[in-house]
Amino acid sequence: MIRLRGLTKRYGANDVLRGVDLDAGAGEFLVILGQSGAGKSTLLRCMNRLACADAGEMTVAGIDAMADRDTRTLRRQVAMIFQHHDVVPRLSVLRNVLTGRLGAAPVLTSVLQLFSRSDVALAHECLTRVDLSHKAQARTDSLSGGQRQRVGIARALAQRPRVILADEPVASLDPKTARLVMRYLHSATRELGITVVCNLHQVDYAREFADRIVGLAHGRVVYDGLPGALRESDLARIYPGGEQPEAGSDIDGEGGMDFRAGPYQSAARGA
């Protein structure tokens, strides 16, 4: 479903991705771990052409994402879930989910935002998958942060993608809500056979939800293996410098750094 070989990306003199090789199979839930600046977000942005890689090979959902200049076909197959919800607050929950259908609609229908009965039925189905069907007519700005992120998941599902890219989808949520959101994302995509590449900085969530973990450091893959095989020595390569993040802490600079010595602890203790 996803195959990257030698992917590189540079911003000025800064080499962000340095020859990344990565594979993700159909229906696989792949988690990428790494410090801020490791290249996690850039990697996802290259996969759906929000950023253009400088060199390498990249096949996503059967599309040569390096050679195909028309990004519309790619983005119909690849949905994004962002860290800060990225929903329209004044629209209803249902209307936000229906925007996931715009890429598949004819131009005039898309401009006028006219949706078919089948699209509306699909949106309701997606809301049911994240347990928000009772909020369909509510304004989205009346929802909690966790509920808004679930709206983002439902919108991505409504797109009927083959791949979902989730960039730190629970970074701004408390541990209990974050785990709930991860469960909705994991179960819905597993049931639908959608491939997920999810950037996280919570190691315990990676161990709990991932089929496979990839660790990035300084733009290179330094770990690629099963969650159960992840050891402290691997974490030391993923998080170089001798400091490791506490489970559920923020290491991407959104809320400041919060490091603790010792082994990782389960975020369930704070849920």
Q: Give the pLDDT of residue 203.
A: 95
| Local confidence pLDDT in tens for the 271 residues of the chain | 999 999 999 999 999 999 999 999 999 999 999 998 999 999 999 999 999 999 999 999 999 999 877 788 898 999 999 888 789 999 999 999 999 998 876 544 544 567 889 999 999 999 999 999 999 999 999 999 999 999 999 999 999 999 999 999 999 899 999 999 999 999 999 999 999 999 998 999 999 999 999 999 999 999 999 999 999 999 999 999 755 554 444 333 333 333 223 333 333 333 2
Helices (H), the chain: 40-47, 71-77, 93-98, 107-112, 117-129, 145-158, 175-192, 203-209, 232-238
What is the rounded distance in angstroms from the CA atom of residue 173 to the CA atom of residue 171? 6
Sheet with 14-24, side-by-side order of all strands: 14-24, 2-11, 55-60, 63-64
What is the rounded distance in angstroms from the CA atom of residue 33 to the CA atom of residue 213? 7
Q: Give the pLDDT of residue 255.
A: 33
Q: Give the pLDDT of residue 243.
A: 56
Q: Give the pLDDT of residue 102.
A: 86
Closest of 224, 187, 178, 184 to residue 205, by C-alpha: 178
Report yes or no: 136 and 94 within 8 Å, Cβ to Cβ: yes
* Phi/psi of residue 228, nearest 5 degrees: -70, -15
Residue written as token pair 């969650």: 227
What is the rounded distance in angstroms from the CA atom of residue 15 to the CA atom of residue 22? 18
Closest of 238, 245, 239, 241 to residue 262, by C-alpha: 245
Domain map (residue ranges) of the chain:
2-84+163-270
Strand partners, 216: 221
**CATH ID of 2-84+163-270, from 3.30.1490.20, 3.40.50.300, 3.90.740.10, 3.30.460.80:** 3.40.50.300
Q: What does pTM read for this prediction?
A: 0.86
